[in-house]
Amino acid sequence: MAGVSITAEWQLLGDKYHRKPEIYQLRWRNIDLARNKVACAPFRGLIAVIRDDSKIVQLYAESALRKLRIFNSFGRQIFEIV
User: How far, in Å, CA of 1 to CA of 5, rounded?
Assistant: 9
Between 82 and 9, residue with greater pLDDT: 82
Mean pLDDT over 14-37 rounds to 85
Select from 67, 79, 77 the least CA-distant residue to 27.
77
The domains of the chain are located at 25-81
Mean pLDDT over 1-21 rounds to 76
The pLDDT confidence band at residue 44, using thresholds 50, 70 and 90, is: confident
pTM over 0.85: no
Residue 75's contacts (CB-CB under 8 Å, 6 or more residues apart) are 25, 26, 27, 28, 47
User: How far, in Å, CA of 76 to CA of 27, rounded?
Assistant: 6
* For residue 61, pLDDT beyond 80: no
Mean pLDDT over 35-58 rounds to 89
